[in-house]
Every structure is written in structure tokens, then in C-alpha cells.
Amino acid sequence: MTFADEFFAAVGLPVLEDQHGQVGVYATDAGEIAVTMIVSDPETRQLWEAELPVAVNRLDFLIEASRLVIGGQLFLPTKGHTISIVTEDYEEVYEVLAPGSDMDCYERVNVSGTWLRVHGKLISRSAV
Amino acid sequence: MATSLLADIAIALTAKLNAETFTKALTVARIYDPEVKLEELAGGRIVVFPAEEESRAVDARNIDRRNLVLHVAIQAKLETSSDGDTEEIDGWLAYVDEVKEYLNRLRNMDEEPYFVVTGIEHRPAYSVRHLRESRLFFALIIVKVRVMWNMSA
């Protein structure tokens, strides 16, 4: 990570969040919290096994780490947490999951970790 | 419309499985395109689809011996948090066992198409890749079926 990453996290992301952020519900076993986040464009990839493909819709959530607090406790994203967002037509639930088997379910955007890129996969979609 | 023997056996196998009672009340579906979306797997699904066929003429008796392979796939998005995956996977593997036990002794000699299940394989027992990447249970039962086919009939 470079100075540009730190600058982007300190200056660029707050502006982006202000202009394009949306409120989602982040849920863990301990409870849930409404969090403002920047949502990336979705992409679809296929997960193959024994010639059976599973289409996985995934996207990333950029979240300021200090906002991940439930019951007064800061926490880090963990596999199995969920993030719910509402789009124009649907309520979508994403599970926090690594994009690939050799990756983590989140990354620090900058060295100091003030912003996190949380990876999610769509597990539920219902019309609103 | 005429159907192929592969389709006939897949239809019969699907009907047999749907007529049986297992601990999980899933409806078995017959498909050709096995692709599915992750978000459609809440609660699980079990599907039957044809895989391959081999035919061999048996002596001069105008009979073909046809060996078919059908796949029975069981897929389920795990519901509980990562702490509870083991117990949930135990339950799905037990369900797969029930389906395997039923299929392994399946003989359909009362009505056409007559067939006998000659063997099954359970491979993969579960997909580690699907589990790691999507917390998805996936098991495949490979069903080997033998059909005696009278060409003069």
C-alpha cells in the first residue's frame, strides 16, 4: 500500500461515501447495526465442481472500520456475517465470504486499516 | 413426444425418489442444465440429470444391454454461522446416506422402463471448495443403471 492509498482512505472515501454511500444492515451473531457503506458494482462468477456450476453474484462493501460496533464492541468482518441492502427493486442479503479459497473475506484499504473492503456473496434476493 | 432412454430413466428415478420419504422434505427435480444461482440454494435442492450411456449387443438374442449413468446432486446453502457448519453438514451427509441407501437397492421391475441400479458412487462426499468459498454443501451421487432392451419389441 502506498501514500495514495492512505490519501484515498483519508480524503477520497469519505467524499465518495458522502455522495454515493448507502445504509445497509450489518448482522452478526451478536446483533445488527445500520452502517453507511459504499457498494461496488456486482459481478457474477461461476464456481465449478464435478461439472456443476454455481453462479455466484458478488460485490464489495467499503466500510469505515470504526463503524463496525455492536454492543459497544468493535469487530472485524468474519465469514458468515451478513449485509442487507435495498436496491431499486430488491432487498438483497450478502454473506461475508472470501472471493476465492485463497483469500480473506475482507481487506484493509489502507495500512492503518481505517477503511475495510468487505467481500460479499448474494444469498437471498426478494422483491420490495 | 418420444423420449430417449436416458430421459425415461431420469423421469423414473425422479418419480421413485419423490415417492420415498426422507428426513428432509425436498422435492426432487429432473433437469438438463445443472447451473444454479447461490441465492436459490437456501433450504437445499436435489436434482437428477443424465450423464452418459453405453450400449452393448448381447449375443444374438436381439437384446441390447444399456448401461446408463445418472447424477443425483444435493446442494444446500448452509444457514448457520461458521461456528455451526459441522453440525449442519452432518445433517446433510446423513440425508445423502438415506438417498444412497434407497438408490443402492433400487430395482424397477414392475413397470417400464425396467432397470436395475448396479452401483453408486458418492463423489465428492462434499466439495471443500464450495464449502470454503460459499459455505455451500455439495455432494454428488453417481448412479449406475442397467437396462435390458429388447430390440424386436
Q: Supply the ipTM of this predicted assembly.
A: 0.86
Q: Do A49 and B124 touch (CB under 8 A)?
A: yes
pLDDT tens across B68-102, in order?
999 999 999 998 765 678 999 999 999 999 999 99
Of the pLDDT bands very low, low, confident and very high (cuts 50, 70, 90), residue B152 is low
Type of residue found at A39: V
Lowest mean pLDDT across A94-103, A113-122, B93-102: A94-103
Bond into B124 cis (ω within 30): yes
Domain spans of chain B? 5-33+48-134+141-150
pTM: 0.87
**Taking Cα atoms as reference points, which of B67, B7, B88, B74 lies closest to residue A50?**
B74
Q: Does B18 touch chain A (CB under 8 A)?
A: no
Nearest chain A residue to B81 by CA distance is A80
Q: Round the average pLDDT of chain A to a whole number and report it.
A: 91
Q: Do A79 and B34 touch (CB under 8 A)?
A: no
Dihedral sign, CA of A69, B86, A55, A123?
Answer: negative
pLDDT tens across A27-86, in order?
999 999 999 999 999 999 988 887 789 999 999 999 999 999 999 999 999 999 999 999
The minimum CA-CA distance between B128 and chain A, rounded to whole Å, is 9
Calculate what percentage of chain B has a pLDDT beyond 90. Answer: 71
Give the pLDDT of residue A12: 77
Contact A92/A120 with Cβ under 8 angstroms? no
Give the pLDDT of residue B109: 86
Q: Is the pLDDT of residue A3 over 80?
A: no
Higher-pLDDT residue of B1 and B92 is B92
Q: Does B83 touch chain A (CB under 8 A)?
A: yes
Q: Is the pLDDT of residue B118 over 60?
A: yes
CB atoms within 10 A of CB A111: 12
